[in-house]
Structure 1
């Protein structure tokens, strides 16, 4: 294996995908090659960020939905109520009052009794399902056997990584340390197909770092671009790309 070929093994080394002999040769090469050492450090940091890609925060309405469902589920009577029932009517009345007081106290602890609207429950369920699908798709791309990684630099020293799986026909973009976009602007991602740009999703209005599943299939795209666009995004770029990255071959 030539030295030029060793330079191409940084990504596989970071992902522990080298055979034992290749791993040993690359580790002997690494101390004498500052560019490879720097790339390994950058890829290792990126791999750490990618590991958090499948972590999804629960939807804001999930607690309310769970509490609403709890109120509709039949519960076993408390032990004190069963004993009171055997003791007679007076005991049953006392247990009922105790249970009622407990329910009122529980309701107060959760901020009072709220009226659960059907549409709100449906919205919360849809949000949870969408978040779960996104997490599954992210995980599928990052763990795909053919996933390939490419890193680059954005303006102001920000870091950028793209992971592409041709088998899954999807791509994931990871950014770190990007400047906050100006008021009324967002970062928009694009698939680059020759001289044409195809929309591939938006970063959050104040998002400067994160892992984003690019929208739509990779299809014939050979790379991606990033532009600043008006809030809500654009059908076509309205400014020159801040950066263009070629997809890994």
Structure 2
């Protein structure tokens, strides 16, 4: 690998896509290059998050529902008498236990349904994250993968990996500034000067790395751009690009 190649191999290194001989050389470079070491740490954190399912918290209304159902259970006072007192006491206990069981069944039946739905949602998100990670990995590890690295605004950096054989591209960014809640970063394919939407990225920004599989096929695109757009994205760019990257030939 040339000196220039070493600085563009951070994404492939994180995904264990470098051949062993190149990996050893890159690790020697990594020990002396703080910029690449920082990118490796950020890309590693991003790759880890892609594989994790999101934990679920009980819905806020659960406590109110439980307390409401408990209040609806009437506790009968014990009936004590000289004759048959024990039988009446046992009968009262049975009535109270039955009512309590009904309330508990209603509450915990609802909990079980909610937990099942929450688990299904978490599994669905996990499957989506795994699918995205697999698609990103397929681009990064493609035999014909070409890497282009460049500077974005405000000191951020961007890396685009293109596989013409797979007709797909992936983008990694580090240090993007955070955006207001009504704004997102939108990615674009550059089709000979005509910008074609390639999806959006969240605007959380910060020092961590972000990654995205560009939506759609690469086709004849010669590069990509990134702009700041209203939430949900735009049909055409509405602001000047904060970065333009040409695809490596």
Which range, TM-score by smaller chain? 0.5 to 0.7
Any stretches of 5+ residues in structure 1 without a counterpart?
A: 31-37, 65-103
Distance (Å, rounded) in 2 between the aligned partners of 1:112 and 1:198? 50
Q: Secondary structure at the residue paired with 1:53?
A: helix
Aligned to 2:225: 225
Distance (Å, rounded) in 2 between the aligned partners of 1:63 and 1:47? 36
Q: Secondary structure at the residue paired with 1:202?
A: strand
Moved more, 44-53 or 168-177: 44-53
- Alpha-carbon displacement from aligned partner over 1:131-181 (angstroms, at most 9, x marks no partner): 221111112112222222211111111111111222222211111111112
Aligned to 2:214: 214
Q: Secondary structure at the residue paired with 2:137?
A: helix
Aligned to 1:172: 170
Q: Secondary structure at the residue paired with 2:204?
A: coil
Aligned to 2:153: 155
- The answer to whether residue 47 in structure 2 is matched with residue 53 in structure 1 is yes
Deviation at 1:113, TM superposition (A): 6.2
- Alpha-carbon displacement from aligned partner over 1:108-143 (angstroms, at most 9, x marks no partner): xxx966431576665444323222211111121122
Q: Secondary structure at the residue paired with 2:47?
A: coil
- The answer to whether residue 2 in structure 2 is matched with residue 10 in structure 1 is no
Distance (Å, rounded) in 1 between the aligned partners of 2:9 and 2:134? 26
Deviation at 1:44, TM superposition (A): 5.3
Any stretches of 5+ residues in structure 2 without a counterpart?
A: 60-100
Cα–Cα, structure 1 residues 172 and 46, in superposed 2: closer, same or farther, change >3 Å? farther
Higher Rg: 2
Cα–Cα, structure 1 residues 59 and 134, in superposed 2: closer, same or farther, change >3 Å? same
Cα–Cα, structure 1 residues 13 and 223, in superposed 2: closer, same or farther, change >3 Å? closer
For the Cα contact (< 8 Å) 2:53–2:125, is it kept in 1? Answer: no
Cα–Cα, structure 1 residues 171 and 63, in superposed 2: closer, same or farther, change >3 Å? farther
Aligned to 1:76: none
Distance (Å, rounded) in 2 between the aligned partners of 1:60 and 1:158? 30
User: Number of matched residues?
Assistant: 192
The TM-score normalised by the length of structure 2 is: 0.61
Cα–Cα, structure 1 residues 119 and 47, in superposed 2: closer, same or farther, change >3 Å? closer
Q: CA-atom RMSD, angstroms? A: 4.1
- Specify which structure has the bigger relative contact order, considering alpha-carbon pairs within 8 angstroms and separated by 6 or more residues: 2
Distance (Å, rounded) in 1 between the aligned partners of 2:143 and 2:178? 34
Aligned to 2:131: 133
